[in-house]
Structure 1
Amino acid sequence: MNFKLMTYNVQDLFLQTAFPLKPEYLHTLSDEHWGMLGHSDQELKPLSKLKALAQIILNEDPDCVCLCEVGGLTALSNFNEFFLSGAYVAYLIPGNSDRGIESGFLLKKSLPFTAELQTNRHWPVPFQYLHEEDPEAYSVTALMAEAFNLGDSDRRRLSRDIPVLHLYDPQGICILSVMLAHLKSGYDPQGFDAGGQKRRAAEVKALIAIYQKLKAEKSNDHPVIVAGDFNGNASRDDTSAEFLPLYKATDLEDALYLAGIPRYERHTHMTFYGRTASAKQLDYIFLSLSLHQRLIPEETYVYRYVYDEDGSEMLAPFSFRDRDLLPSDHYPVVCVVEL
């Protein structure tokens, strides 16, 4: 059978309403009315954006959706029930995010599979920031760091999690494992880790170790998909230094690369520096070796947002204001493999 997977950073999918709500009443609410249903300490994602996210999933009809930046299991379950007619089963275990943005899965109920979710939130991620490696050279940063709780360098954990969803056929055989990564972003307000590179590099090593452990437990040819928001250039083209070990130590390959998608069509995120736009691929679906030849290239792509009126592709945003009108600041990636 063909298995369609989507990975999507849905940007702050907070959906915990403070009051009971029947899904059939959603069409009567405006974004303003919807916003009033949230808790005082957590703003709801706008209703119009939630509807747009749901429409993309309904139109694309993936068997499995890997989602980053979900506001917990309640939010994911509500999204499924309110906007997807309960067509999926939600899987999410809270990770280590200090913003409450978790990584979760939606698996289609109609599939002939059972599933088991495994967390790796306690996986060790030992590393040192530059001021810890050389406190004299970075003395000012080291002094500033005393005011923050950065934790013991050898006791650090993943900034979020790398959960694994195992799929089993009716005979109880594990036919596929899907790992979901949301690696450290470049956001560094305190200035301890420029571009988040030190922590992200450590998390890449953890991802590799988790992948290798999984293969050792199953088999070397066990099908594995590693999807999610890598927050950097993990592609084969001009690979960022922190991702080079991914290619040296594993057989993982980017599905878009395998499908022959040109680099300029692989971008999944846009940001802006003054009047200059920057388009990058941050989101990936990596396939283990046993899946390389089972990828269906013509059904592998980056989804582009479309206009409601005629379904034509939207122009890329030209500013933060343009981007804020989209359902998310990321584009989803889709691939189909034969199981």
Structure 2
Amino acid sequence: MSKKPLTVLLANPRGFCAGVERAIEIVERALERYGAPVYVRHEIVHNRFVVESLEAKGAVFVEELEEVPEGVPVIFSAHGVPKEVPSEAERRRLFYLDATCPLVSKVHREAERHARVGRQILLIGHAGHPEVIGTMGQVEEGAILLVENVDEAESVQVDDPENLAYITQTTLSVDDTIEIIAALRRRFPAIDGPKKEDICYATTNRQEAVKAIARNCDALMVVGAPNSSNSQRLVEVARREGCPKSLLVQRAADIDWEALGEIQRLGLTAGASAPEVLVEEVIAACRDRFDVQLQNVSGVVEDVTFKLPRELTAKTASA
């Protein structure tokens, strides 16, 4: 019996960003240099496949610093941590490496700068996300108010409208954030914001790549984890752009083919913390069921790289 044809539109860019690549390399190099176990506070990036691959090499993932024993290196995840975490590590004389994405660190410095001059800060982001927890933990408690959507932007009460700033989580929906910022600027014309928006280049590029294919697809799959903010946003962007049958899948085994129904054109992308091997796995699963024609849709070419901590590039270990 011949297979039905399926055109798979591959979004570009997709998958790993420079911050994720850097964070994973920090764990891998630390294991090579210091030996197992190396402890990691929180998932290094939001992807179970990546986490389990690193666990197999000797990484131990914990949620809190108190779970880290004496005498072993500890790494802070790409999402960033509150200031109290490195302070506690120093108090305990733990050797630590900070894998916080440099673009998240930039937002941390913005928060510190605003707090230093006495501005109240509005953080556009999602409650409970590790990046938001880390950013709010850069300044004194109460200095930052969280704004999650346009309704909250319209209702948030501030101390002094003339002494106000906003910052944002790096993995938000670009379009949603524009609307929230517009509402804040209308209510508070004097509000100070970043010269260049805080949403990272990779989040922006992946959302634009999804927009380029969404209207031409019967369905669209985003390879990523449920706790990955940037992956969830890609699903939302695809639906908003005219592809209601858009879904998040962690692995090929998770695909609900029945829910997809009769499809002829499938869009495929991956969140910034999802490795390309999982995209290839989904393509292989498509080939099992369909006569697949792959179509690479060109997009922005990314050439961003970030430096590793000097402890991992120096000639001698410093643990």
TM (norm. structure 1) is 0.26
Greater Rg by CA: 2
Greater RCO between the two (CA within 8 Å, min separation 6)? 2
More helix by share: 2
TM (norm. structure 2) is 0.27
